[in-house]
Structure 1
Amino acid sequence: MPALRAAVVNVAIDPELQRYAALDQRLLAAVRGIHILSTVAWPASLENRMIEAYGQGRFSLPAVSYQVPELAAARAELAAIEAAAVEVGAGDPLGEYLRRTAESWQVAAQMLEAVGTAGVTAPSIALYGKPDDRIPGSQRSNLDAARYFVELSDELGADLLADDGGGIDAEVLRAALAETLDVFFGDDMIRVEVDPELTAKAAAGATRIRLRGGVSFSQYDHHQLLAHEAFVHSLTALNGRRQPLLASLGRTSPRVTATQEGLAVFAELISGAIDIARLKRISLRIVAIDMALGGADFVEVYRYFHARGQSVADSFHSAQRVFRGVPPGGGAVFAKDNVYLSGLLTVHTFFRWALRQRRLDLLRYLFAGKLALHDVISLQPHFASGAILPPRWLPPWMQHVHGLAGKLAFSVFINGIHMDRVREDDLLPGA
């Protein structure tokens, strides 16, 4: 295990592939100064002041200032890398992978250079999609799915069913997570820290998971953090860092965000770590993005969350996620939260498709690094040749492939039962 901590495995790269490895290293160097979430983040001190004011019924639009990054040089280098990938990689999926990745980082750079303005909206939608995008294999949209889950959760009493877990202190949870991760990955492979400035409740990288200080966590939070942050986000980053050919597989590029977040929420679902209240939260955010695009301002979006059962602090943080990096007056959004539900639906469909095709190997490839679904399919020849390594670590639920196949097979069949055709008498014994 300690030998793996150096990240990259000592595997000889085919001389024919060296050109891709060189371009990949240029790509990593070019994007070193591009940091999406930290650029659009709000200071915790501002949030705390405004949450207190909102709790007292004093509403005003947040006044947030942002540091606009200078990314012209990065964009120029990314454009050159994209052109080189087209020239060098004609007909090879490695060239297409590099082209797509460089292109997505250019869009992200343009988005960040517009931070603080409505100009963030269009590139963020290009990267993360929008609520009325269609779900693959369906005539319904992401927004339709969000409204369905909100309605269903209200019918089931999601707020009453939510597990409060007795309120686990962040430091207590930090210690519990660290112990589990040391056993799974090896001692000190992943640090767990409490960060009072963190906007999200948790965030994960390859070697560090941060928890927001000053909040309490539930047992469901504990299970979700393991399934979502540790066994997907950190795990795929660590596997990606071991790749000898494409080192960029260790970093989340903008174009893979939907797959990575969808896979993480799918992991919650398949491992039993998600509850209906969680589905409601990610669905409400999509409705809120749609509201903001339609002109709703920050206060109106906050009130929407609060009216649907969220606390003052949670409602503020939920609205803040929609308005990161954009003016709070309505009509502009940071669209990243669109990917959680749309990604879940797409990844779930991919898992079912792979089962139908009897290609469980494709599902394992998903964990070899920070990949999009498109990459898993297009890069198959390079997985087969060994140029791209299989994952060193798999989530616990992926290690029991027969159990996973059983769950997916059941879902494939049960999906053919139309609930609008089921009568109560059909469910009664002897009917």
Structure 2
Amino acid sequence: MSGPSPQYLAQVRELSDRVVEAQRPIRVLDSIKWHRDLREAFFASGCRELPRVDVDYYRERNPLDFDTAAKRGEFREIERDIARLLGQLNPVSVLMRRICREYRTVVDLLEARGTPEFGLVSRDLYGSASDVFHAGDPTLADLGTAMEDTLVNLLRHDSMAEEEKTITAEQAVEMLNERLLAVFPDAGIRVLLNDQMTADAAAGSDYLKIRSDARFNQLDIDVLEVHEGWVHLGTTLNGSTQPYCTFLGKGPPSSTTTQEGLAVLTEILTLRSSPARLYKLVNRVRAVTLAEEGANFVEVFDYLCTNNLSPQESYSITTRVFRGSTADGRPFTKDLAYMRGFVQTFNFLRLAMSEGKLDSLPLLFLGKVTLEDLKLYRLLLDEGVVTPPRFLPPHFAQMKGLATWMSFSRFIASLNFDQLQADYSGLL
């Protein structure tokens, strides 16, 4: 069977490059961020006054670098050309046309900053805490509640206390530059200081930004190495070096759940995570849940402060939930991706291991993929339209240890925990 023609592959590359170029000025997190003066004003008020954020705030402080109507029209034109040149049912056509539609929705999201519509569009893109994992299963909100009790019990133990954050941003840059150079020796990865960001760290296309006034401990550095480095930078590099499907180097909202889930899973599998780290992720779910139920910024902040988080941590999580919206509006629901993605990716891993389909697992690192599309990517890999990932984290590059561990997971998960608790309680 002959492979795709050079003309076809050239068309795929041209259309893919157009998608990449069209999305370039769309920077979701930069467009919805809250600046440092809001934090200062909030704490100056004794943490009692709602941050003053509205439509004008975003337009003045975070102006968009593109015309929204023209950008939507650009993606419509690309989508029509994809269907015209590749057909309706072609796998690459299906993927790229959906991505074009997603980016149009992202434009809608940014256009709606500071309005009630923002939260509704966010829910369309990133889901809701009331979503279930599978028919009849608990919701994401239920997951947050269920895990909270276990993690609180763990965190009462002295051995679970976090180390003091004594590593400066400058030291973190030096340490991570050394580590990522060893992992990506020829990729030109850079770790840089940045004094404009709100998060402690964030990955870009070929760089990792560290907030200049952030402080870290050794476990934070370990987590950043695998979460931002191995997964986020790794999948970006794998996607951007694809010969034809260059769109795999960019992450539309549909890839967020798989990407963040894969990153959290990697933290856990490599023993880099901790109950304190997981507790923060669970509290992001709880914060989104409360905001969806109508709680405002101060009410969510107060809840987190009473849940063993510092005022600084509580402000950071609450800001993540309300950015793009108003302080009493519908939330930005992207932070649900971490726990939702972990559960979905872990279940996929369990199923692939139990059925011996190990060839499917490296597909997770082709680029910014989603679980739902892996069958299409398997087809495209077999046809030579996409190429295998250049970089795989060690536990995926050599899966014997991972496969051994996962072999028990299905059986262990089937055990009745209530009965186990009754049988073992006398041992504790």
Q: TM-score, length-normalised on structure 1?
A: 0.91
| TM superposition shift of 1:198 | 1.3
| TM superposition shift of 1:372 | 0.8
CA deviation profile, 1:184-240 (whole Å, cap 9, x unmatched): 111672111121221112100231101122121122211110110000000000111
Listed as ranges, the matches of 1:399-410 within 5 Å are: 399-410=397-408
Paired position in structure 1 for 2:384: 386
CA deviation profile, 1:329-356 (whole Å, cap 9, x unmatched): 24x1111111110011111111112112
| TM superposition shift of 1:43 | 1.3
- Aligned residue among 148, 158, 161 for 1:150: 148
Which residue type is aligned with residue 111 of structure 1?
Answer: L
Paired position in structure 2 for 1:413: 411
Paired position in structure 2 for 1:16: 8
1:127/1:254 contact within 8 Å kept: yes
> Structure 1 pair 158/137, CA: closer, same or farther in 2 (3 Å)?
farther
Which residue type is aligned with residue 81 of structure 1?
Answer: I
Q: Percent identity?
A: 33
| TM superposition shift of 1:41 | 0.6
Q: Distance in 2 between matches of 1:164 and 1:51?
A: 28
Paired position in structure 2 for 1:6: none
Q: Name the SS of the counterpart of 2:229 in structure 1.
A: helix
Paired position in structure 1 for 2:25: 33
2:42/2:49 contact within 8 Å kept: no
1:158/1:276 contact within 8 Å kept: no
- Aligned residue among 357, 367, 370 for 1:369: 367
Paired position in structure 1 for 2:68: 71
Deviates more, 1:175-184 or 1:76-85: 76-85
1:354/1:362 contact within 8 Å kept: yes
| TM superposition shift of 1:314 | 1.1
Deviates more, 1:22-31 or 1:332-341: 22-31
Paired residues in the alignment total 414
> Structure 1 pair 347/165, CA: closer, same or farther in 2 (3 Å)?
same
Q: Distance in 1 between matches of 2:337 and 2:157?
A: 23
Q: Distance in 2 between matches of 1:96 and 1:242?
A: 21
Which residue type is aligned with residue 224 of structure 1?
Answer: V
> Structure 1 pair 220/18, CA: closer, same or farther in 2 (3 Å)?
same
Paired position in structure 2 for 1:284: 283
Paired position in structure 2 for 1:184: 183
Listed as ranges, the matches of 1:124-139 within 5 Å are: 124-136=122-134, 139=137
Q: Name the SS of the counterpart of 1:193 in structure 2.
A: strand
1:13/1:244 contact within 8 Å kept: no
Q: Distance in 1 between matches of 2:305 and 2:360?
A: 42
CA deviation profile, 1:15-49 (whole Å, cap 9, x unmatched): 223332222122122212211000001112332x1
CA deviation profile, 1:101-154 (whole Å, cap 9, x unmatched): 111111111000111212111111111111011113761111111111111111
Listed as ranges, the matches of 1:67-106 within 5 Å are: 67=59, 68-69=63-64, 70-87=67-84, 88-106=86-104
1:206/1:234 contact within 8 Å kept: yes
Q: Name the SS of the counterpart of 2:196 in structure 1.
A: coil
1:53/1:59 contact within 8 Å kept: no
CA deviation profile, 1:158-183 (whole Å, cap 9, x unmatched): 68513225521111111111101111
Q: Distance in 1 between matches of 2:300 and 2:422?
A: 39
Paired position in structure 2 for 1:50: 41
Unaligned runs of 5+ in 1: 1-11
2:363/2:377 contact within 8 Å kept: no
Q: Name the SS of the counterpart of 1:209 in structure 2.
A: strand
Deviates more, 1:124-133 or 1:204-213: 204-213
2:129/2:139 contact within 8 Å kept: yes
Paired position in structure 2 for 1:337: 335
Deviates more, 1:336-345 or 1:184-193: 184-193
CA deviation profile, 1:336-379 (whole Å, cap 9, x unmatched): 11111001111111111211232211110111111111222222
Q: Name the SS of the counterpart of 1:171 in structure 2.
A: helix
> Structure 1 pair 300/390, CA: closer, same or farther in 2 (3 Å)?
same
Q: Distance in 2 between matches of 1:381 and 1:308?
A: 47
Q: Does structure 1 residue 275 correspond to structure 2 residue 264?
A: no
Paired position in structure 2 for 1:350: 348
CA deviation profile, 1:71-122 (whole Å, cap 9, x unmatched): 1111112122233434433222111111111111111110001112121111
2:47/2:298 contact within 8 Å kept: no
Q: Distance in 2 between matches of 1:171 and 1:388?
A: 38
- Aligned residue among 48, 55, 59 for 1:59: 48
Q: Distance in 1 between matches of 2:335 and 2:234?
A: 22
Q: Name the SS of the counterpart of 2:408 in structure 1.
A: helix
Q: Name the SS of the counterpart of 2:52 in structure 1.
A: coil
> Structure 1 pair 158/337, CA: closer, same or farther in 2 (3 Å)?
farther
Q: Name the SS of the counterpart of 2:414 in structure 1.
A: coil
Which residue type is aligned with residue 124 of structure 2?
Answer: A
Listed as ranges, the matches of 1:117-266 within 5 Å are: 117-136=115-134, 139-157=137-155, 160=158, 161-186=160-185, 189-266=188-265
Q: Distance in 2 between matches of 1:403 and 1:58?
A: 48
Which residue type is aligned with residue 419 of structure 1?
Answer: F
| TM superposition shift of 1:380 | 1.1
Deviates more, 1:68-77 or 1:230-239: 68-77
| TM superposition shift of 1:411 | 1.8
Which residue type is aligned with residue 122 of structure 1?
Answer: L
Q: Distance in 2 between matches of 1:403 and 1:137?
A: 32
Paired position in structure 2 for 1:9: none
Paired position in structure 2 for 1:317: 316
2:222/2:272 contact within 8 Å kept: yes
